[in-house]
Amino acid sequence: MTFEKVLIIRFSSIGDIVLTSPIIRCIKNQKKSIIHFLTQQKYIELIKYSPYIDKVFCIESFDYDLNRHCYNLVIDLQKNLKSFFVGQFIKEKFQSKYITYNKKNIEKWLLVNLKKDYLKNEHIVSRYFCALRKLNLKNDGKGLDYFINPDLVEKNIPTIFTFKQPFFVWIIGGSYENKKISTEQIIGVCSKISEPVLFLGGDEEKKTAKKICSTLKRSNFHNLCGVLNYDQSAYIIKKSSLVLTNDTGFMHVASSFKKKIISFWGCTKPSLGMYPYKIDFNIQLIGNTKKIPCSKLGNRCRKKINCIKQIRVNDILNAIKKIGGLS
């Protein structure tokens, strides 16, 4: 089954958009379709340079841009009310086929609230491919993609990027506080290692990284939180020797580069299906080692001491040693 022109919908966020990349690649390579992608304006940079996408649109200018295109197939990987209305509008206008995926919200609710696991550790990418099985689309097993602006060179990166030796990236951001390793945990680890560390996060993590750097007073620790754009952050992740990360979007960017990853899990757990995808060197450290999540999104925790705060400094150091990160 082939479709000449395909629209893929995913409005947000960083990691979720990167997780659509195997679907995009396989449709382009196996079906030879023209692929358009609909997202939010602020996320266009994440997919703008993909060789598998022919055009990117932003939802903010939906009426003007999309009305001129006759799509044979709409793939809704957002699956919310807005994406449904967009998909149905195009379906009716062009007689397109509309496909979405099973978010498995019932199974997630059963796991979180009744501790019944029907997800069976199935990754979200596998759910995407399952939704498209009638297209005879095969997962090529190559993992995630992230394509950096080809004009981005080291001179566009802040001048601190001058390391000739291997360095670590520590991604300290997260959508909720319950999903973030604490400042004290990070300081405890960093006080025991000699490798350079670059801290990545948004504006809200600036103070945290500043406190870490000022406490440890190390010339090879650098606070890049709120400084870099998506591509610059991705470039630094790509050049790193090890990525330490909370359950957040740039964890999936690191997966796309097949980096060694140590990921930290608290209220959310890998059992929800959003763990690093198709990489060889991956250690998941889980606070409160039961695989039952406290919440689906990480916005609440059942424990007095937040789950992720239960991860011990020595466990992180041992993981770094095990994965081959210590010199």
- Which of 106, 135, 164 is the C-terminal boundary of a domain? 135
How many Cα atoms occupy the beta-carbon half-sphere of 240 within 13 Å?
32
pLDDT class of 304 with cuts at 50, 70, 90: low
**Domain housing 94:** 5-135
Report if residue 143 sits inside a domain: no
Cite the beta strand spans of 128-286 per DSSP E: 168-171, 197-200, 221-223, 242-246, 261-265, 282-286
Three-class SS state of 177: helix
**How many structural domains are present in the chain?**
2
Residues 183 and 93 in one domain: no
CATH number for the domain spanning 312: value is 3.40.50.2000
Question: Is 127 in the same domain as 192?
Answer: no
Same domain, 118 and 177: no
- Whether residue 39 contacts residue 47, with contact meaning beta carbons closer than 8 Å, is answered with yes
Regarding predicted confidence, which is higher, 164 or 139? 139
Q: Answer whether residue 298 is part of any domain.
A: yes
Q: Which run of H or E residues covers position 98?
A: strand 97-100
Sheet containing strand 261-265, edge to edge, reads: 221-223, 197-200, 168-171, 242-246, 261-265, 282-286
In a shared domain, residues 110 and 216: no
Tens digit of pLDDT for each residue in 43-86?
999 999 999 999 999 998 876 567 778 899 999 999 999 999 99
Same domain, 177 and 281: yes
Domain membership flag for residue 141: no
Sign for the pseudo-dihedral over CA of 70, 74, 76, 82 = positive
Residues 131 and 160 in one domain: no
316 and 185 assigned to the same domain: yes
- What is the pLDDT at residue 190? 97
In a domain, 35, yes or no: yes
In a domain, 149, yes or no: no
Residue 159 confidence (pLDDT) above 70 = no
- CA dist 20 and 142 (Å) reads 13
Give the lowest-confidence range in 5-14, 59-68, 118-127, 274-283.
59-68
Does one domain contain both 180 and 281?
yes
In tens, the pLDDT along 192-246 reads 999 999 999 999 999 999 999 999 999 999 999 999 999 999 999 999 999 999 9
- Are 107 and 244 found together in one domain? no
Domain contains 327: no
For residue 146, is it within any domain?
A: no
Could you tell me the two tokens for 264?
């930290």
Shared domain check, 127 and 14: yes
For residues 297 and 264, the model is more confident at 264
Of 135, 166, 193, which marks where a domain is finished? Answer: 135
User: Which domain-ending residue is among 75, 100, 135?
Assistant: 135
Residue of 249 and 155 predicted with greater confidence: 249
- Cα dihedral across residues 150, 147, 42, 93: positive or negative: positive
Asked if residue 67 belongs to a domain, the reply is: yes
Residue 215 token pair: 């406490």
Give the closest residue to 196 by CA, choosing from 154, 152, 162. Answer: 162
Q: Are 116 and 46 part of one and the same domain?
A: yes
Q: What is the pTM of this model?
A: 0.94
Do 182 and 314 belong to one domain?
A: yes
